[in-house]
Amino acid sequence: MNFADMSVGDIKKTIAALSDGDWIEAAAVLKNDRRKGVQSIGKSLERRLNDLNLEKKRIMEMKETEEKYRRQDLNLIAGVDEVGRGPLAGPVVSCGIILTSDCGILHINDSKKISAEKRKALFEELKKSAVSVAVGVVSPETIDDVNILNATKKSMYLALEQLDPSPQVVLIDAVRLEDLDIIQESVIKGDEKCYSIAAASIVAKVVRDKIMEDYHEEYPQYNFLSNKGYGTKEHLEAIKRYGLSPIHRRSFCKNFI
């Protein structure tokens, strides 16, 4: 790559258009340029490359649980996770997702560790690349009737029933489904440690957040747009002032009314 005759501005534009496979060569050339500003670009590019390699290594480690089953020729592996066990209002939502072995989407992680903007971008990538993805939504009324643990499991069953093709293995974040007649593994802190489960947590989070944003239009006094149904100080004060909405979980709100 010949950067010698380029201005600093043109170099930045050229670097922005490069694929990450070309970063190593570009960084080496730029670091040896006589101009301090260009050397700085080279060092910055080198740091980005290092960060990228660390992220790829982290993703490979997150895939170890899936690879254990792929080595047994079990390739249809569903990650399952839920969002919304703790809020005072709204549904519990679970996602089941089957990814290909070569899925290379970076920055997959526990949805709580990712910004809302990044979650939405990853959500779109996951929808495009997944073999199959489905969600199960269980209402506040059902949560009150059967308790949150059983409602969570119900939402997971609903998500799994919709996957096509059906999975051969199900990896679940810290829950075991008693009536599931295929191989399953409960992974503690799975949304941090397991690629498919983390992907499921992102989809479930984006879907539930959208549901709560829509409910905000109906019940703006509770500010579901911000709190997503969780028991913030503002939310608790709104309950005391306005009472419960139709989407509040009565069993969760006994101490606040």
Residue 160: CATH number of its domain: 3.30.420.10
Residue 1 in this model has a pLDDT that exceeds 80:
no
Q: What DSSP element (H or E) covers 67?
A: helix 64-70
| pLDDT bucket at 15, cuts 50 / 70 / 90 | confident
DSSP state of 221: G
Give the chain's mean pLDDT.
Answer: 95
Same domain? For 124 and 172 the reply is yes
Average pLDDT over residues 72-88: 98
Domain identity same for 85 and 43: no
DSSP state of 253: -
Q: Give the residue from 126, 138, 134 showing the smallest Cα distance to 93.
A: 138
In a domain, 182, yes or no: yes
**pLDDT tens, 19-68?**
887 888 888 889 989 999 988 989 989 999 999 999 999 999 999 999 99
Residues 216, 210: Cα–Cα separation, whole Å: 10
Same domain, 143 and 193: yes
Q: What is the pLDDT of residue 135?
A: 98
Query: What is the extent of the structural domain holding 123?
Result: 65-205
Is residue 218 one of the residues assigned to a domain? no
Q: Using one digit for the tens of pLDDT, what is the confidence trace for 130-189?
A: 999 999 999 999 999 999 999 999 999 999 999 999 999 999 999 999 999 999 999 999
Q: 146-167 burial, b for 16+ CB within 10 Å, e for fewer?
A: eebeebbbbbbbbbbeebeeeb
Residue 215 confidence (pLDDT) above 90:
yes
- H helix or E strand, kind and range, residue 190: helix 190-193
Q: Is residue 216 part of a domain?
A: no
The whole-number pLDDT of residue 21 equals: 79
* Enclosing H/E stretch for 154: helix 148-162
> Is the link from the previous residue into 91 a cis peptide, with omega within 30 of 0?
no
pLDDT at 137: 98
Give the residue from 205, 229, 249 where a domain finishes.
Answer: 205
> Rounded mean pLDDT of 194-206?
98
CA distance 61 to 104: 13
**What was the pLDDT predicted at 24?**
83
**Count of domains in the chain?**
2
Same domain, yes or no, for 182 and 156?
yes
Q: pLDDT class for 18, splitting at 50, 70, 90?
A: confident
Tell me: do 44 and 84 sit in the same domain: no
pTM: 0.91
Question: With pLDDT > 90 as the criterion, what percentage of the chain qualifies?
Answer: 84
The angle subtended at Cα 189 by Cα 157 and Cα 111, nearest 5°, is 75
> Do 138 and 154 contact (CB within 8 A), yes or no?
yes
188 within some domain: yes
> Position of tokens 């089957």?
98
Residue indicated by tokens 């984006």: 206
